Amino acid sequence: MRRLLLFAAATMLVAAKHAPEAPLLLNPGNFDPAQLLPPAPRDDSAAGRAELAQLHVIDRTRTSEEVLHAKADGEVKNVTIFAAAMGPRFDLDRLPATKALFHMVREEEKAAADRAKDHFKRNRPWITDPTLHPCATDDEPQSSYPSGHTSMGYAMAAILARLVPARAPGIMARAADYAHSRLVCEVHFPADVAAGQAFGMMIAERLIEQPAFRTSFEAAQSELKAAGF
């Protein structure tokens, strides 16, 4: 009997691992980056040269504390970036509906951002100018536009602010700070961050319109309200 139970458990685990993922709510057919974002500035354009000059100003003026903060931000790619804005009760282990909602946001946002990056194929700053000092150079060389961290931050911020309107100012301020870290780290150009902000807000608005997403949103809303938010 024990062997049968172990075999059944193993079979279920393998089946779950290879089960098809739920289809995206935002897909190439209804959320096309080419129709939502303008082209990125070319490296050899006046706008591209001006952006590079801005990064060189950051390179000269950023402090070691700002770099450490920006590096730390770069390592976190989930809704916990808003923990300080939400307060100590924002413990996702005790908020399963909220955790599930933002897992969905992350999956949708990343897929959309990856499509956008693949469409625009903008060089990262350190490819354009090797004299910069980025926090890291392990991203794809032509994945600068739009900033995925920024689109994630603003998509999550827009939804979290709707869930807890009283904390919206702090949430949105944190999203801006998180986005600015990408410039401090010199891993994106200013236009990448601006496009990431717009793209993230569009992702949030389009998701809210989806009935399947609204169901999860309302479950998280009830959970957060019961938790005192």
Q: Is residue 159 helix, strand or coil?
A: helix
Q: What's the whole-number average pLDDT of the chain?
A: 92
d(CA 201, CA 179): 13
Place of tokens 């949103």: 217
Structure-token pair, residue 47: 């706008």
Q: ∠ at Cα 157 (162, 23), nearest 5°?
A: 90
Per-residue pLDDT tens over the stretch 138-188 = 999 999 999 999 999 999 999 999 999 999 999 999 999 999 999 999 999
- pLDDT tens by residue, 55-84: 999 999 999 999 999 999 999 999 999 999
Domain 63-226 sits in CATH 1.20.144.10: yes
